[in-house]
Structure formats: structure tokens, C-alpha cells
């Protein structure tokens, strides 16, 4: 039975500060490092085999993947992809979430943060935060780098990458680990679990808690579960 293991990176420094992070390449917090190590140890304890791994261009996801592989004594080649980057939060990048909610109102805040197809205003081209993006971004094709994204925009880059690059490994009965981000994983889960545009706003992805999806014939989902049940979130399926 083929497994897809989805892991949101451990807590980042900006997660801890309650800031919109998006494409800014912040590091893991001390708690995030612990979460990443615990994820790796849990995978090892359950003897879950990992054949192929993918991550984004952002160090918080890369370091989480590195920690998991190290804990499992694996020296797999990294498959990094900008398509797995976190959602670009546009002009909200760097802002404190609570302060932003008070400033623009809860309704607008929810639309920007949780709606399916509403993106925040774009980031200015000369924004100071552009200098804090991953240096790996230089390899992104010209014209493909966004200045803001909705979840739908994120979906439109994540899902084709899954279909064209990741899925073939699952078809070959290889277990795949993806270390990515809250919204890039929400986008992928929307696709895999057939979640509606109206219900996707309810899906939460916890940091540092691997979600295992087991596939049967024709990659039909047979089973899905978080490895740490104490920190599991509700998984929405066919809603």
C-alpha cells in the first residue's frame, strides 16, 4: 500500500510572532526544530519507509525535511520545487495578524486569510520583503513569480506539480514525503480529499505533525491519519 506523508514545517519564527510570512524565508523557531525532530522520530518509530522526498524553496520546510531524513538515517536526494512554496500573502506580508484584523475588520481579514479565491492587495515590486525571499527563487521562470496569491492561485501551481511530478512515484508504489507549508498543503488536500470551495476554509494543517494518506489500487484513498493524535486536526473528505 503506497503512502503519501504530508508534513507542514515546524513552527517558524514568524509563526511564533503571529505574522503573515508567505514567501519570506524565515527560519524555524526552537519549538519548530523540536517539532521537526519529533516528526522524524515518530516516522522512525512507526517504521514508515520513505522512498522519495519533496520540499519547497523555503528554509523552514527544507530544514524540517532535513531533520526528518536525518532521524531516519536517510540520504535521499532533495527534490525542491517553488510550486510547493507557501502562499504569497502580498501586501499583508510581515504584518501582525491580530493588528491587521483590528485594522481592516474581521470580515475582510477572513476573506484574505481563508477564502478560496480572494487575494490580498499585491506586494510592491520594491518592497523590503522581496530581499528576504529565498535565494533559490532566481531559478523561477521569468513572469511566474507572484506578487500576491489566493488559495486558488496556490492550488493552480501545487496541483499540476503533484500531477506531473509527484504522482508518478506513487503510481510506482514509492512512499513519498512532502515537507511544505500550511497553504500549499491545504491546496493539495483540497484536491486529494475533494473538498469544496466553501468547506476548504475549515481545513487546518498543524505544524510538525505528519499526515499519512494510504492509497490502494488506482491511487484511491483507503486511509488517512495524523501520526500525533493529540495534535490532530479534523480532516475534511468529500465535502
First to last CA, the chain: 25
Q: Phi/psi class of residue 207: alpha, beta or left (left: φ > 0; alpha: ψ in -120 to 50)?
A: beta
Name the nearest CA neighbour of 209 among 11, 57, 1.
Answer: 11
Q: How far is CA 6 from CA 37, 50, 127, 130, 186, in A?
A: 15, 12, 32, 28, 10
Please say if 75 is a catalytic residue: no
Choosing from 35, 86, 88, 149, the catalytic residue is 86
Q: How far is CA 109 from CA 4, 105, 114, 195, in A?
A: 33, 6, 8, 22
Half-sphere exposure (CA, 13 Å, Cβ side) for 77? Answer: 2
Q: How far is CA 31 from CA 12, 36, 91, in A?
A: 8, 9, 27
Distance CA 183, CA 148 (A): 13
Choosing from 9, 35, 88, 181, the catalytic residue is 9
Contact between 230 and 187 (Cβ < 8 Å):
no
Distance CA 99, CA 210 (A): 31
Please say if 88 is a catalytic residue: no
The residues annotated with a catalytic role in the active site are: 9, 86
Amino acid at each position: 500500500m503506497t503512502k503519501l506523508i504530508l508534513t507542514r514545517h515546524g513552527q517558524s519564527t514568524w509563526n511564533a510572532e503571529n505574522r503573515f510570512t508567505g514567501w519570506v524565508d524565515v527560519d524555524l523557531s526552537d519549538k519548530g526544530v523540536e517539532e521537526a525532530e519529533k516528526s522524524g522520530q515518530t516516522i522512525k518509530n512507526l517504521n514508515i519507509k520513505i522512498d522519495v522526498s519533496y520540499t519547497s524553496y523555503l528554509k523552514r520546510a527544507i530544514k524540517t525535511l532535513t531533520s526528518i531524513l536525518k532521524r531516519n538515517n536517510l540520504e535521499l536526494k532533495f527534490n525542491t520545487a517553488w510550486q510547493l512554496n507557501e502562499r504569497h500573502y502580498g501586501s499583508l506580508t510581515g504584518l501582525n495578524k491580530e493588528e491587521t484584523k483590528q485594522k481592516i475588520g474581521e470580515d475582510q481579514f477572513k476573506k484574505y486569510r481563508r477564502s478560496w479565491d480572494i487575494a490580498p492587495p499585491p506586494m510592491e515590486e520594491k518592497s523590503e520583503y522581496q530581499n528576504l525571499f529565498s535565494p533559490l527563487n532566481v531559478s523561477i521562470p521569468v513572469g511566474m513569480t507572484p506578487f500576491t496569491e489566493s488559495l486558488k492561485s496556490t492550488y493552480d501551481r501545487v496541483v499540476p506539480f503533484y500531477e506531473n511530478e509527484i504522482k508518478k512515484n506513487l503510481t510506482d508504489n514509492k512512499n513519498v514525503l512532502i515537507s511544505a507549508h500550511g497553504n500549499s498543503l491545504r491546496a493539495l488536500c483540497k484536491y486529494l480529499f475533494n473538498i469544496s470551495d466553501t468547506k476548504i476554509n475549515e481545513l487546518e494543517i498543524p505544524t510538525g505533525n505528519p499526515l499519512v494518506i494510504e492509497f490502494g489500487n488506482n491511487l484511491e484513498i483507503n486511509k488517512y491519519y495524523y501520526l500525533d493524535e493529540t495534535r490532530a486536526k479534523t480532516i475534511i473528505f468529500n465535502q
